[in-house]
Amino acid sequence: MTGADLAGYRTVDRAPTRVDYRGHQVIGMGPPSSGGSTVGEALNLLEGFDLASDTRAQALFHFLEASRIAFADRNRWVGDPAYVEVPLRGLLSQGFADERRCLIGERANVSRTLPEAIAAPRVSQRNSDPGDAEPAFLASPEAAELQALGELFRVAPTPAPLPPEIGAATGIAFLGGGVLQAAAEPVRRGGGSALVVHPLE
């Protein structure tokens, strides 16, 4: 990269994604970023579940399975709109999520093809069967309940063999009333748990 490259660089203004989730408007980055469409579709999928009455393990299970479907759809449909047609309106429609929700059963689908396994969200950002998880997560009651539902876990390698990646480790907080709060932390990589042990204050 040279100074001329930087001097010639121009930003591109893109419209954000928007979905409504349990009374909240969730705004994200539009394509070519896949964050807004993937999070939006996952939230639309979760609209069909009564998360407020779920146990923590059931809510985590629904979150993991909704994310699995949203990531698979991201891999199939999302790209740079300068080069491909991205059906963003359809991906973010509640009707599409309502149709896709039937893929979430009472147990995890562990008979995945390699592309499906790569797309599947796990307890870490490392998408594999079994999924990498931190020892603290594996010792939690939720891990045992998720394993009973068919989710597969193994202890994440330490130290992580790959360099840090922004947003690699994500977490969710259960805020009551079926509302989730998601966050990504920029340092940890390799076994980032999709579980907030200490809720945000």
> Is pLDDT at 26 greater than 60 in this prediction?
yes
Name the E strands within 7-122: 17-21, 24-28
Give the pLDDT of residue 36.
94
Q: Look up residue 14 and give its DSSP letter.
A: -
Residues 12, 101: Cα–Cα separation, whole Å = 34
What amino acid is encoded at 18 in this protein? R
Q: Which of 12-16, 97-101, 139-143, 163-167 has the lowest mean pLDDT?
A: 163-167
* Residue 196 pLDDT level (bands cut at 50, 70, 90): very low
* 57 token code pair: 């393990």
pLDDT at 188 over 80: no
pLDDT tens digit string along 61-77? 899 889 889 988 988 88
Burial bucket for residue 134 (CB in 10 Å: 0-12, 13-18, 19+) = buried
Pick the range with the lowest mean pLDDT from 65-74, 128-137, 188-197.
188-197
pLDDT at 185: 47
CA gap 34, 41 in Å, rounded: 11
Structural domains in the chain, CATH included, are: 15-185 (1.10.246.130)
pLDDT band at 12 (very low <50, low <70, confident <90, very high): confident
